[in-house]
Amino acid sequence: MGLDHRDYEILLALSVHALEQDGSASSWPALVRTLRAHLGAEAVTLTEIGRERGRPLAWAPDGVGAGRVRELSRQSIRSGNPLIGHYREARDPVPRTAEDLTGSAGWRDSPARSVAREHFGAEHVLGVPCALPSGRAGVLRGCVVYSRTRFSPAHRAFVRRAQPLLAAVDAHERAMARVRERAGQDAPVRAREYGLTPRELAVLTLLGEALPAKAIATRLGVSVRTVHKHLQNLYRKLGTKDRMETALRAQAWGLLRPGLPHR
């Protein structure tokens, strides 16, 4: 099933909102609110899950307290929620419902379903992975959509299209956190003074760490071609010709901290 005009409007709005963020505030609260409203769901949560514990990062509706969402994460892990086990072990980027993984009868009789009903009155849950673990000890981040009714084919088509976008948002937010860690808290302000976008600043920071274009693309969840486009924009805006000159000028102008590796 294809997407309708409204679906594409929502995806475009999510993209623009996320990529305009400079790291001073997370874009996730607005994104999960939009997902919940568009899907007509009871709730949407974004959680980071390690081997033994979960850490909620954003959720909707806003009226749900942080303590309640933390308890939901704890109980979901303890009850063996099938979405957690699947995305940790299979490293599958495709959005799936719990019933896809266990069958209708298996989900109906599961402790995890009881947890979803207790917290949100939800009969059905849909997982949308944002970052899959790189190894058994790695961290899983993803959204879970809670609904009283079954997810329609249209809703499932929408989240399949939205998943790469959400993965890109996750990569962008982690890159901007690294910008503030490596370049300093005022780097986004300085970047705006020189006409750099948040995405270009993220590329610049990774360039300053001597990462090749392919590695930068992997970190940001974009294509190598897109990285080269950002690099060309950086050369033009900073008046430089290559990676080394760009890194040195960025250090001189306070966009990168002195002493970062470059080549």
CATH number for the domain spanning 191: value is: 1.10.10.10
Angle (nearest 5°) at CA 253 between 249 and 255: 90
Q: Is it the case that residue 177 has pLDDT exceeding 90?
A: no
Of 48-62, 129-143, 173-187, 206-220, least confident by mean pLDDT is: 173-187
Angle (nearest 5°) at CA 219 between 188 and 85: 120
| pLDDT band per the 50, 70, 90 thresholds, residue 205 | confident
Residue type, position 61, single letter? P
The pTM (predicted TM-score) of the whole model is 0.77
Residue 179 within any structural domain of the chain: no
Paired residues of 55 in beta bridges: 48
The answer on 11 and 120 residing in a single domain is: yes
Nearest by Cα to 53 from 68, 32, 71, 34: 71
What the block records as the tokens of 93 is 């980027």
Q: Is it the case that residue 133 has pLDDT exceeding 90?
A: no
The answer on 229 and 132 residing in a single domain is: no
The answer on 136 and 17 residing in a single domain is: yes
Residue 177 within any structural domain of the chain: no
Q: State the CATH number of the domain containing residue 113.
A: 3.30.450.40
Q: Is it the case that residue 224 has pLDDT exceeding 80?
A: yes
The answer on 38 and 120 residing in a single domain is: yes
Question: Residues 46-53: what's their mean pLDDT?
Answer: 84
CB of 255 within 8 A of CB of 191? yes
Domain total for the chain? 2
- 219 by Cβ neighbours in 10 Å (0-12 / 13-18 / 19+) ranks as buried
The answer on 149 and 47 residing in a single domain is: yes
Q: Is it the case that residue 16 has pLDDT exceeding 80?
A: no
Query: How far apart (Å, rounded) are the C-alpha atoms in residues 96 and 191?
Result: 39
pLDDT of residue 147: 97
- Phi first, then psi: give them for residue 41, nearest 5 degrees: -90, 165
| pLDDT band per the 50, 70, 90 thresholds, residue 149 | very high
Which residue range(s) make up the domain with 57?
A: 5-170
pLDDT of residue 234: 94
| pLDDT band per the 50, 70, 90 thresholds, residue 50 | confident
Q: Is it the case that residue 1 has pLDDT exceeding 60?
A: no
Question: Residues 16-41: what's their mean pLDDT?
Answer: 81
| pLDDT band per the 50, 70, 90 thresholds, residue 217 | confident
Question: Residues 100-106: what's their mean pLDDT?
Answer: 95
The answer on 213 and 91 residing in a single domain is: no
Q: What is the mean pLDDT of the chain?
A: 86
Residue 175 within any structural domain of the chain: no
Query: How far apart (Å, rounded) are the C-alpha atoms in residues 180 and 111?
Result: 41
Whose structure tokens read 């005022």?
Answer: 186
Query: How far apart (Å, rounded) are the C-alpha atoms in residues 24 and 254?
Result: 17
Coil, helix or strand at residue 257:
coil
Residue 59 within any structural domain of the chain: yes
Residue 259 within any structural domain of the chain: no
The answer on 197 and 80 residing in a single domain is: no
The answer on 150 and 23 residing in a single domain is: yes
Question: Residues 224-228: what's their mean pLDDT?
Answer: 93
Q: Is it the case that residue 137 has pLDDT exceeding 70?
A: no
CB of 255 within 8 A of CB of 190? yes
The answer on 227 and 205 residing in a single domain is: yes
The answer on 128 and 234 residing in a single domain is: no
Percent of the chain whose predicted confidence (pLDDT) is above 90? 48
Residue 261 within any structural domain of the chain: no
The answer on 197 and 126 residing in a single domain is: no
- What element of type H or E holds 49? strand 43-49
CB of 261 within 8 A of CB of 209? yes
The answer on 188 and 158 residing in a single domain is: no
Residue 178 within any structural domain of the chain: no
